Amino acid sequence: MSFALLFAGQGTQSAAMLPWLDDEPASQRALVTLQIAVGTDWRSALADNSTRSSNAFAQPLITGTSLAAWAGIHHHLCTQSGLDSSATGATGAMMPAVVAGYSVGELAAFACAQVLDVQTVMTLATLRANAMDAAVQGLDTGLLSVAGIDMQSVLKMDDQLDCAIHIGADHGIYAGQSALLDACSAHLTLRGATCKRLDVRIASHSRWMVPAAVQLAAALPLQNWAVAQCPVVLDATGTATRQTQALQRGLSAQLCNTVQWAACMDAIAEKGVRCVMEIGAGNALANMWNARHSAIPARSADDFRDASGAARWIARHLEV
C-alpha cells in the first residue's frame, strides 16, 4: 500500500496557513531554516499584500513551510507505525511512493525525495525567485487562470500569451503582460469562462523566463545531489524519474516551459497509490486531483488541525 505527495506552489499562501506548524516539534528544524531566509515574523508579513506576492519572499516561504509540514507529518506517520523517524528517514520508511511539486513546489518535492537537503533547496528557492524577477525587470507581467475554454482557443487570442500550466482540457494558467491578461480576462468572461488573476506578479513558466532557466541550470550541477528515495514526477515532462541529470534538466526547464500538471497527476495515478496528500497552503491541488482522479482520495495538510491528524488520514487509507 502506498501514498503520494503533492507540494503546493505559489498563490495560496496566507497568514492563517498551516497554523499547527509553530507547535509541531518535528517541524522546528525546517522552520529555523525558513526563518533565516524570510524572518521570524513571516506570518505577520503574509498579511501585507505586496510582501505576500513578492517572489523573493513567497518562494522560500512556500518551500520552507512545505518541508516543515512534511517533517511533522512524516514524524507522526513513523510514530503511529512504531518506527523511529529520525533513524529511518534515510532508508525510506513511511516515504511516499512518488512525489510531485506544483511550480516552486517542485523544490520541496526534491527535498522530500532526499535528492537535495533542506538548506540547499531553500538557497535554490531564493536564487530561483531572484532570477525570475530579473528576467522581467521593468515589465508588468502575471498569471491568469482560465477555466471553461480549451487551451488552443485561449492561445489564439494573442501570440503574446503562453500557457504556463496545463491543468485539464478546459483549464489552464496563462502567462503574459498584465494589460493583455486583463483584456483577455474580460473577453473570455463574456464567452462564459471563469477567469481569475493569480496572486503571482510574474509570467512564470513562459518565454519570459528563459534567462532565469539558464541561470538555474548553471547552478544545479554545483549542488550536492543524492540518490532519490522515491521517483519525482517532473513538471516539465509529466514523467517520473530518479535519474539525477533528468531531475536537473526538469527543474530548470519548468521555468520557461508549460507545467504539464494534468500529465503529472496521471503519472501519479498510474503508480496505483491509495491516497494523495497535498503539502502546503490551501487545497487547490487536492481539489484538482479529486476532480481528475476521484477514485483515489486526496486531502490537503492544511485541512487538518495538526500533523498527527494528517498522518492518521494517510495511515487509515494505507490500512484498507
pLDDT range class, residue 86, cuts 50, 70, 90: low
Class of domain 141-197: alpha beta
Note the pLDDT tens digit of each residue in 197-235: 998 889 999 999 999 999 999 999 999 999 999 999 999
Question: Residue 146: enclosing H or E segment and its boundaries?
Answer: strand 141-147
Say whether pLDDT at 273 is over 90.
yes
Note the pLDDT tens digit of each residue in 67-78: 999 999 999 999
Question: Residue 98: enclosing H or E segment and its boundaries?
Answer: strand 98-101
- Per domain, the residue ranges of the chain are 3-135+207-318, 141-197
CA 172 to chain CA centroid, Å, is 16
Q: Which of 119, 111, 187 is nearest to 153 (CA)?
A: 187
Neighbours of 19 (CB within 10 A): 12
Q: Using CA atoms, how far apart are residues 312 and 80, in angstroms rounded to an integer?
A: 8
Radius of gyration of the chain (CA): 19
Q: Which residues pair with 166 in a beta bridge?
A: 172
Q: Which CATH architecture has domain 3-135+207-318?
A: 3-Layer(aba) Sandwich (3.40)
Query: 281 by DSSP, 3-state: which?
Result: coil
- Per the listing, cell 498551516 goes with 18
- Contact status, residue 14 vs residue 59, Cβ threshold 8 Å: no
Classify residue 49 as exposed, middle or buried by CB count within 10 Å of its CB (0-12, 13-18, 19+): exposed
- Contact status, residue 18 vs residue 64, Cβ threshold 8 Å: no
Note the pLDDT tens digit of each residue in 47-64: 988 888 899 999 999 999
